[in-house]
Amino acid sequence: MPLSFYWVDAFSDRLFAGNPAGVVPLNSWLSDEKMQQIAFENGLAETAFFVPTANERFHLRWFTPKVEVNLCGHATLASGHVLFEVLKHPGERITFDSLSGALTVTKRTGRLQLDFPADHPVETTDPTLYQMVTRALGQPPLWLGLTSMDVFAVLSSEPAVAQLQPDHTAVAQAGMRGLIVTAPGSTDTDFVSRFFAPQSGVPEDPVTGSAHCALTGFWAGRLGRSVMHAKQLSPRGGELWCELRGDRVLIAGHTKLYASGQIHL
């Protein structure tokens, strides 16, 4: 049974940058085991699968090479690209139902914009976690918190984040989905980040839309503004335009289709 497959670079306006995601449109669900096998075979940070539901909505799921996850920003953006640009979905807005509730992708002047729930980090003073994160980063964080999914660490500067060479074993021992590391940005960027999740099969995620559900609210409070420009400093790099709007976060970025083909099951 052949399935259409698309490879999209998300959060970049050029190929070979941003975060690549696999997208597999379906008419009905495959087994969880089969979708996990496809994600493992793809070897990408996430592969998204969606099926049409009522009222022109879609049910969306995401798999890393190891596990199904509750939320993935870049693969949602990539799914929006496939629906709008390849499958020619009408209109300017798509609604996905997911394990994280209703999520939308909207066309915005050359970019696609996600509407996701905010996930504000809460400060922790757990000494064991602090020691684990210090060992993972090779330096103590200025601030340490937890989101609903991740450990959240703040460093002093953009170079401190850019030059990180974390201990991935220690990152995995810190638990949860992964580790968000962030700092204030330079003159043209409000904040920067990196995301490490070896325990989820992703040593470093190139660009992490879901992490910006936490980053946007945190830096909005620190910087005193709700609209911000962010960069993720992985080797591939990526740009995001973020806005805190009540209990929601709007995250916009560019997308580029890299490849398309078929999966033969």
Q: Active-site residues: which are they?
A: 46
**CA distances in angstroms from 31 to 7, 38, 71, listed in the order given:** 21, 11, 19
Distance CA 17, CA 56 (A): 31
Q: What is the rounded radius of gyration, in angstroms, for the C-alpha atoms of the chain?
A: 18
Pick from 206, 185, 186: nearest CA to 195 = 206
How many other β-carbons are positioned within 10 Å of the β-carbon of residue 158?
A: 18
CB neighbour class for 17 (10 Å; exposed up to 12, middle 13-18, buried from 19) = buried
Pick from 10, 2, 1: nearest CA to 236 = 10
